[in-house]
Structure 1
Amino acid sequence: MELSFSPEERAFRDDVRAFFTEKLPAEIVDKVRQGRELTKADMEHWHAILNARGWLANTWPKEYGGAAWTPVQRHIYEEESCMANAPQVVPFGIYMLGPVIMAFGNDRQKAEILPRILSGADWWCQGYSEPGAGSDLASLKTRAVRDGAHYVINGQKTWTTLGQHANKIFCLVRTSTDGKPQQGISFILVDMDTPGVEVRPIRLIEGGHEVNEVFFTDVRVPAENLVGEENQGWTIAKFLLSHERTSIAGVGYSVKALDQLKTLAKRQRRSGKRLIDNPLFAARLSEIEIDLEAMKITNLRMLSNAQKNGAPGLESSILKIKGTVIRQALNDLSRRALGPAAAPFPSEDLDGNAAPVPAEDRCHAATYFNNRKISIYGGSNEIQKNILSKAMLGL
């Protein structure tokens, strides 16, 4: 295993840094740095900039308009992206549906869907979770019944991220009740403008509108929108989730958060001393940093293996567990470092003598509350432990 970057990879890092310096709009940087909500226009603008550079679909093969980056290049880009306060690419079209269509779609689907993802003509969202079917996804109940040249869909999806912006949704639906629950699931594409599709917002604990409920009432979808074969959806879902769980680890996010926390701890004072000189705080910070360094090595091991063998294996579950725990620990310690100033509404002077809070520190409470979800979505950490205990330990 190679744990140091090659001269070519170091040159690539320099290229990425130069690109961010030259092309990343300052107004978007400010929003990301301050934890402010990006608009749909912000995200589309950044996608267009990346697409013009040929870096939007950075993991796609060149034959489909991608950059064909190696896993190491993707890792470098994601880390530098976080450090530069660049928006993360909305993953549902590029990193989720795109690879699914390449692996399981027919020639027509590849020719029609992939270019529209790149151009931004279609904004995709994900229809997986349901009330009562989150980590236990095999228990989903949304039905798709074949009726001639169409499927008729009835049911509900929840936690649909950025569904309020999307014009398309890819869904797991039940097409059979025979055999094991996993054997009766199919993967289908739905136009959000189809009669019977309704999107309702879900307000999160920090006040943001990021996720939604999506209801299907007698929604007629052309049968040609089925991806792969009928009842093959579970295989496709597992293919997709192995990639999603790797990115959920968020190594770049944690590296940036650790850097920000150290800066904050040097600035904050308790009883006249810098917070970073407090033994208890320093011990907590060191523990997180040690865990992060170990995870970075595990991530590099996985990347090295992926370059040789393709898709990630069980390591993706390990990274998902440890990565989300580390991110949440950093969020919690950052909030504690700010004390009362980390309140959700820092513009209010809590004690009449509070010092002004820098704009980039005003988001810590919102980030803390929002990131409680990361150990749940993509398959909860408890489910990941079950996967590892069964597949690796034979339990």
Structure 2
Amino acid sequence: MSAPSDPAPNSSDYVSDVAAFRQDFRQYLRRLDCADAWRSAAFPSAEEGLAHDATVMARLHADNWIRYGWPEVVGGLGGTEIHRAVLYEELGQAMLPIPAQAWTLEVMAPATLKFAPHLAGEYLPNYLNGSEWWGQGFSEPDSGSDLASLRTRATEDGDGFVVNGQKIWTSQGGTAKRLCVLVRTGTPESRHRGLSMLLIDTDAPGLTVRPIALASGRRELAEVFFDDVRVPANRLVGEVGGGWAVTMFLMQYERGMYGYAALNKVLMELGRLRQYMVDRAVGQAARERFARVYVDVITAQARAATTVRKLAAGEAVGPESSIDKLLCSEAERAVNDLILDVARDHMMVNAAGAEAAELDTARAEWWYSRAATIMGGTAEVQRGIIADHILGLPKERRAS
């Protein structure tokens, strides 16, 4: 990315006038000198893709645009979740991929701001400018959606904690600078009441990160091992035993802001597919399927927009966030399935040069979408939450 040019004004005007923010950011993207390179960027590995996206974050930060929607304590310029949602919308409209670091930023930054403002002020400015990013250390080999059964233990020892255990399926874990780790500080029987959240550096002595190669060959996830890892007491996010409250707050953003950004990404992919279909004059059946998938995506987006507005207003989002998660994950899978089926002959070829990287990226997106209805809470779990806490349906009878 080249040096900053045509930056957003550092003023309060955009904070109070979201429409002006949208209009001027749209014009900025039209004039951006690196837009074409950004739009067509493709890389053969997850690590190279993240390195490229970090330069995108740095450019948007240097030009001030990505700083809106975040408070000044983390290097922001004010505003709310609405500003961030508009930024994602306009990137999608301009057919520009959202930087991958934005996904994890949306999940972990709000919780850090609320429960550990001292850590937010120290570290989130570097997250916002793309010079570091974090991973979310929740899942364990024997604990997927049932977070209350986590076994990675943090023992209080002097002025800090000693952590032992293992995490798995950590997104961006192989390149993350820090990890938000949910650990057990109470007894196993204490379930969710005995959990705490710690922010742990990945270069801490005793911490080992092993990237996981997916079916695509890309190392987008990692497993993490903790062997007597010492963590200072000031790295506690929230209170000892208060990790579940942090997690529930974080989930609102994982299913709201993350989901909204992801839906704008798949809308961008649908835009690319539409042009592909027009160029190749695909048949009526494919066009009708495209229309059905498009309706599913914008339906999910409209539902997620309601959650974004609640978050921006400071309202708590309860179990209804499971609706966002369910609709978003199913739409993401449907879009990637449609892309594969429509462009199957093209995606299966062996190409060279730039086209090889582009096709490899498209195939990797399809492989990764297989986990959309599993990661962050399975679709079955989300349906259970909706049935129990929203619809008030009778409890399922289990066989004796």
| TM-score band w.r.t. shorter chain | 0.7 to 0.9
Query: Is it true that 1:19 corresponds to 2:31 in the alignment?
Result: no
Question: Does structure 2 retain, via aligned residues, the 8 Å contact 1:55–1:66?
Answer: no
Return 5+ residue gaps in structure 1 as ranges: 1-6, 269-273, 349-355
User: Secondary structure, in 3 states, of the residue corresponding to 2:372?
Assistant: helix
Could you say which residue in structure 1 is the equivalent of 2:279? Answer: 267
Residue pairs, 1:350-365, within 5 angstroms: 363-365=361-363
Structure 1 counterpart of 2:193, from 183, 199, 207: 183
Q: Quote the Cα distance in structure 2 between the aligned partners of 1:23 and 1:124.
A: 29
Residue pairs, 1:302-321, within 5 angstroms: 302-321=307-326
1:336-376 superposed Cα distances (whole Å, 9 cap, x missing partner): 11233222x5329xxxxxxx979756643332112111222
**TM-score relative to the length of structure 2:** 0.83
Q: Quote the Cα distance in structure 1 between the aligned partners of 2:301 and 2:81.
A: 14
Query: Is it true that 1:203 corresponds to 2:206 in the alignment?
Result: no
User: Secondary structure, in 3 states, of the residue corresponding to 2:299?
Assistant: helix
Q: Quote the Cα distance in structure 1 between the aligned partners of 2:197 and 2:85.
A: 29
Question: Does structure 2 retain, via aligned residues, the 8 Å contact 1:60–1:99?
Answer: no
1:126-184 superposed Cα distances (whole Å, 9 cap, x missing partner): 21111121211111110111122231111111112222222322200001116541011
Could you say which residue in structure 1 is the equivalent of 2:183? Answer: 173
Residue pairs, 1:248-267, within 5 angstroms: 248-249=259-260, 250-267=262-279
Question: 1:185/1:29 Cα in 2 relative to 1: closer, same or farther (>3 Å)?
Answer: same
Please identify, of 161-170 and 37-46, the stretch whose mean Cα deviation from structure 2 is larger.
Answer: 37-46
Structure 2 counterpart of 1:100, from 107, 111, 116: 111
Q: What amino acid is the match of 2:271?
A: D
Could you say which residue in structure 1 is the equivalent of 2:8? Answer: none
CA RMSD in angstroms, aligned pairs only? 2.8
Q: Quote the Cα distance in structure 2 between the aligned partners of 1:40 and 1:89.
A: 7
User: 1:39 offset after TM fit, Å?
Assistant: 4.1
1:68-103 superposed Cα distances (whole Å, 9 cap, x missing partner): 333433222112223432342514763233322221
Could you say which residue in structure 1 is the equivalent of 2:329? Answer: 324
Question: Does structure 2 retain, via aligned residues, the 8 Å contact 1:243–1:312?
Answer: no
Question: 1:103/1:318 Cα in 2 relative to 1: closer, same or farther (>3 Å)?
Answer: same
Could you say which residue in structure 2 is the equivalent of 1:148? Answer: 158
Could you say which residue in structure 1 is the equivalent of 2:291? Answer: 286
Q: Quote the Cα distance in structure 1 between the aligned partners of 2:371 and 2:68.
A: 27
User: 1:315 offset after TM fit, Å?
Assistant: 4.0
Q: Quote the Cα distance in structure 1 between the aligned partners of 2:322 and 2:234.
A: 33
Question: Does structure 1 retain, via aligned residues, the 8 Å contact 2:55–2:130?
Answer: no
* Paired-residue identity, %: 32
Please identify, of 200-209 and 41-50, the stretch whose mean Cα deviation from structure 2 is larger.
Answer: 41-50
User: Secondary structure, in 3 states, of the residue corresponding to 2:66?
Assistant: coil
Q: Quote the Cα distance in structure 2 between the aligned partners of 1:292 and 1:143.
A: 40
1:228-274 superposed Cα distances (whole Å, 9 cap, x missing partner): 21110011011112101122352212221222222222223xxxxx3
Could you say which residue in structure 2 is the equivalent of 1:3? Answer: none
Question: Does structure 2 retain, via aligned residues, the 8 Å contact 1:190–1:225?
Answer: yes
Could you say which residue in structure 2 is the equivalent of 1:394? Answer: 392
Q: Quote the Cα distance in structure 1 between the aligned partners of 2:119 and 2:361.
A: 41
Residue pairs, 1:68-83, within 5 angstroms: 68-82=78-92, 83=94
Question: Does structure 2 retain, via aligned residues, the 8 Å contact 1:155–1:216?
Answer: yes
Question: 1:266/1:85 Cα in 2 relative to 1: closer, same or farther (>3 Å)?
Answer: same
User: Secondary structure, in 3 states, of the residue corresponding to 2:175?
Assistant: coil
Question: Does structure 1 retain, via aligned residues, the 8 Å contact 2:69–2:82?
Answer: no
Residue pairs, 1:13-162, within 5 angstroms: 13-21=22-30, 22=32, 24=34, 26-32=36-42, 37=46, 38-82=48-92, 83-91=94-102, 94-105=105-116, 108-118=118-128, 122-162=132-172
Q: What amino acid is the match of 2:203?
A: D
Return 5+ residue gaps in structure 2 as ranges: 1-15, 394-400
Could you say which residue in structure 2 is the equivalent of 1:351? Answer: none
User: Secondary structure, in 3 states, of the residue corresponding to 1:135?
Assistant: coil
Structure 1 counterpart of 2:367, from 348, 366, 369: 369
Could you say which residue in structure 2 is the equivalent of 1:230? Answer: 240
Question: 1:91/1:210 Cα in 2 relative to 1: closer, same or farther (>3 Å)?
Answer: same
Q: Quote the Cα distance in structure 2 between the aligned partners of 1:305 and 1:216.
A: 37
**TM-score relative to the length of structure 1:** 0.84
User: 1:324 offset after TM fit, Å?
Assistant: 1.7
User: 1:382 offset after TM fit, Å?
Assistant: 1.6
Q: Quote the Cα distance in structure 1 between the aligned partners of 2:345 and 2:97.
A: 29
Question: 1:219/1:341 Cα in 2 relative to 1: closer, same or farther (>3 Å)?
Answer: same
Q: Quote the Cα distance in structure 1 between the aligned partners of 2:330 and 2:342.
A: 18
Question: Does structure 1 retain, via aligned residues, the 8 Å contact 2:57–2:99?
Answer: no
Structure 2 counterpart of 1:333, from 329, 335, 338: 338
